[in-house]
Chains A and B, each alone.
Chain A
Amino acid sequence: MARTSSSGSSRRDVLKLAGLATAAGFGVRPAFSQSPGHVVVVGGGFGGATAAKYLRRAGVDVTLIETNATFATCPFSNTVLGGINEIDAITHGYDGLAAHGVQVVPDTVTGINAANKSVSLQGGTAVSYDRLILSPGIDFKWGEIEGYDEAAAEVMPHAWKAGAQTELLRRQLIAMDDGGVVAIAAPGNPFRCPPGPYERASLIAHYLKTHKPASKVLILDSKDSFSKQGLFQAGWAELYGDMIEWVPFSSGGNVARVDPATMTVYTDFDTHVVNVANIIPAQRSNRLVDTADLANGGDWCPINQLTFESTVQPGIHILGDASIAGAMPKSGFSANAQAKVCAAAIAALLRGDEPPSPSFINTCYSLVGPDYGISVAAVYRLNAEGAIAGVEGAGGVSPGDANAEFRKMEAEYARGWYASITSDMFG
């Protein structure tokens, strides 16, 4: 059978593959050799793509189901908003994974049948698995900010799933007149990419400083503190003067309501009429997990933090932003690190072995400007309670008193990190 890929597959190929995979559930194995089993991975982002690749490296049969033919990364999407990169530079396809022998199925999972160990696809077929990995990312809690729904997001983009929304926000920034106000509504914890809203403010300010220097960036925050706060605020003062204003929760920064028709953002106490509004709403795990009740009534999915297997449904592993992974932040780097540990655990479980004990790193780089990078890093292990916890004495943020050369080096390493992690996922 021909390997399918995102670019080369036809509907016919997909159906053929799905038929084979379903047959596998009845004991007829497709012609894979020596594999200890078949893993279906849902979602081709930082968690899913990495898991698919590393499972293949461990000799496991893998089917990756992903709605879109390409994946635009949230990391580095702020460089598109800042005019540093085009969207193509952060968009990746699945040919590399197909070359590793991953069966890439361009379809959307509509349901999970945990009892039958199969997922149903929008295309009408079902795919059976020995173990299932979900790396589905986030969904938004529409309506938590009054007036902010999917239609409002076409006027006031969230741009918190990269792609069309990123391009929409970029177009609005380009169209804005000099002297305009760009509002960014930052959500309460926990949410995808904790330093993200503040890197975004930085790189939007970089664009405005160059092209529209009388403009302002107004961050309306539902929190009183944020990731790498001291480093960001020092960098803002150094690079952008008073162009960026941060309004914390305790100064009335919490956005309660928006009116897209009048471009008005209402906080609990104030009214702001703005030119561009980037509303980043509160988040939860992707609603796909509800089809098997994997969030157990909450927003995020509880897992065994050794194997990432759901504590609600055996045989289903959940990675990345959707999972509750102890002290790890919801970041692309976390999902990539978790995926490799999960792949090793699943390969061991399928072979009847004990899953190896895990180790993780998370390093989040942020660009305050194109030549001004900052980072926060941590090393994680399982603690005695089985929860992922930071190793004491390790990690932390970039030094506050570092010189320009250090900041420039971290900006270079941020770009190097992006090249490396995307090759680790897709290459």
Chain B
Amino acid sequence: MADGITRVAVPETAAKGEIIEIKALASHPMDNGFMFRDNGTRIPRWIIHRFEVDYNDELIFAADWHVAISANPYISFHTIATESGTINFRWFDDNGDIYTESAKITVV
């Protein structure tokens, strides 16, 4: 990806059963394919079309994105802290690239 920046925020610790907020941000142009350069050539569609989150290898959140999503997509959602472990994030873009992040959470 152009800037290669993905960021995630997950609480380092949480009580078992607590509702936690998870945030994820990707720097991506999200070119919608309808724009033209100054020389008249079309800027091809290039978007992140899918975003997935696993909590200890179980898919807990997924979203299919389309051309109306603006640049630098930011998403936040809530889940329940069930057990200590790893939360993995994956962004899939039109070029076949997959960007990943992971974060640890300790549930007490």
| Touching chains A and B, CB distance < 8 Å | yes
Question: Is the CB of B8 closer than 8 A to any CB of chain A?
Answer: yes
Contact B72 A224 (CB under 8 A): yes
Give the residue of B25, B71, B72 whose beta carbon is less than 8 angstroms from that of A269. Answer: B25
Provide the residues of chain B in CB contact with A249, threshold 8 Å: 72, 74
Question: Is the CB of B7 closer than 8 A to any CB of chain A?
Answer: yes
Q: What is the interface of chain B mostly: helix, strand, loop, or mixed?
A: strand
Contact B27 A251 (CB under 8 A): yes
A251 to B71, CA, bound (A): 12
Question: Is the CB of B9 closer than 8 A to any CB of chain A?
Answer: yes
Contact A268 B27 (CB under 8 A): no
Give residues of chain A (239-271) contacting chain B, Cβ–Cβ below 8 Å.
249-252, 268-269
A268 to B72, CA, bound (A): 14
Type the 1/0 row for B7-38, where 1 means its CB is closer than 8 Å to any CB of A.
Answer: 11100000000000001010100000000000
A269 to B9, CA, bound (A): 6
Q: What is the interface of chain A mostly: helix, strand, loop, or mixed?
A: loop
Residue tally, chain A, CB below 8 Å to B: 7
Contact B72 A252 (CB under 8 A): no
Provide the residues of chain B in CB contact with A252, threshold 8 Å: 7, 25
Contact B23 A269 (CB under 8 A): yes
Residue tally, chain B, CB below 8 Å to A: 11
A250 to B8, CA, bound (A): 12
Question: Is the CB of B5 closer than 8 A to any CB of chain A?
Answer: yes
Contact A250 B23 (CB under 8 A): no
Distance to closest chain B CB from A269 (angstroms): 4
A410 to B5, CA, bound (A): 39
Give residues of chain A (260-307) contacting chain B, Cβ–Cβ below 8 Å.
268-269
Closest chain A residue to B73, Cβ basis: A250
Provide the residues of chain B in CB contact with A269, threshold 8 Å: 7-9, 23, 25
Give residues of chain A (95-133) contacting chain B, Cβ–Cβ below 8 Å.
none
Provide the residues of chain A in CB contact with B25, threshold 8 Å: 250, 252, 268-269
Distance to closest chain B CB from A247 (angstroms): 12
Distance to closest chain B CB from A267 (angstroms): 9
Most buried by B among A249, A250, A251, A268: A250
Provide the residues of chain A in CB contact with B71, threshold 8 Å: 224, 250
Provide the residues of chain B in CB contact with A224, threshold 8 Å: 71-72
Distance to closest chain A CB from B103 (angstroms): 11
Type the 1/0 row for B42-86, where 1 means its CB is closer than 8 Å to any CB of A.
Answer: 000000000000000000000000000001101010000000000
Contact B5 A268 (CB under 8 A): no
Type the 1/0 row for A182-220, where 1 means its CB is closer than 8 Å to any CB of B.
Answer: 000000000000000000000000000000000000000
A209 to B23, CA, bound (A): 37
Provide the residues of chain A in CB contact with B74, threshold 8 Å: 249-250, 268
Provide the residues of chain A in CB contact with B8, threshold 8 Å: 269
Provide the residues of chain A in CB contact with B23, threshold 8 Å: 268-269
A251 to B72, CA, bound (A): 9
Closest chain B residue to A268, Cβ basis: B23
A224 to B74, CA, bound (A): 12
Q: Using a CB–CB distance below 8 Å, which chain B residues touch chain A?
A: 5, 7-9, 23, 25, 27, 71-72, 74, 76
Interchain residue pairs with CB less than 8 A apart (24):
A224-B71, A224-B72, A249-B72, A249-B74, A250-B25, A250-B27, A250-B71, A250-B72, A250-B74, A251-B5, A251-B27, A252-B7, A252-B25, A268-B7, A268-B9, A268-B23, A268-B25, A268-B74, A268-B76, A269-B7, A269-B8, A269-B9, A269-B23, A269-B25
